[in-house]
Amino acid sequence: MKSTADIQALIREVPDFPKPGILFRDITTLLQNADGLKATIDLMAAQAIDYQPDCIVGIESRGFIFGMPLAYQLGLSFIPVRKPGKLPAAVHQVSYDLEYGQDSLEVHQDALGAGHRPLIVDDLLATGGTAAAAATLIQQTGATIAGFSFLIELNDLNGRQKLPDGVPITTLLSY
């Protein structure tokens, strides 16, 4: 198993979840398949090499699922971006708007700085709000974003438009 078509075949489609009219792409069926998971990480790593990152930033929580093995595969460190109150030391924080309210993300102040080139990883690029907030947070540290890596992109939601100009974006699967 080495193609994106093979990986896509492992993603379950669940109609009307979490509400009527939504076709949910369930990655748990991919995660349960050892060959599919390995192929996913291998392909994401092959894409990431071109960006020359020096660390991987994973967005809580599904960005951890793909970010950690990607960091391991590339021999890089892993920096978690978390929801408020989860990190024990001094943090940078950014708040952002959701469809129905607001949320925040945090990263340790000593995790990144000028000269770092993190690759931001998450499972899904939809409306782009969370990824854009993570980018703002990383920029607060003084680091230069090497790129973004997503398993899935929902093209109709135009999430790319919210991400910083000139920063490369890769996705394995587009719907």
Maximum pairwise Cα distance, the chain: 46
From residue 15, alpha-carbon distances to 22, 25, 33, 66, 127 in Å are 6, 9, 22, 25, 19
Which two three-digit tokens encode residue 139? Answer: 């920029």
Distance CA 38, CA 102 (A): 35
Q: Tell me whether residue 62 is one of the annotated catalytic residues.
A: yes
Q: Tell me whether residue 13 is one of the annotated catalytic residues.
A: no
CB burial of residue 3 (10 Å; 0-12, 13-18, 19+): exposed
Q: Which one of the listed residues 13, 82, 99, 117 is annotated catalytic?
A: 99
Q: Which one of the listed residues 12, 25, 60, 62 is annotated catalytic?
A: 62
Q: What residues are labeled active site?
A: 62, 99
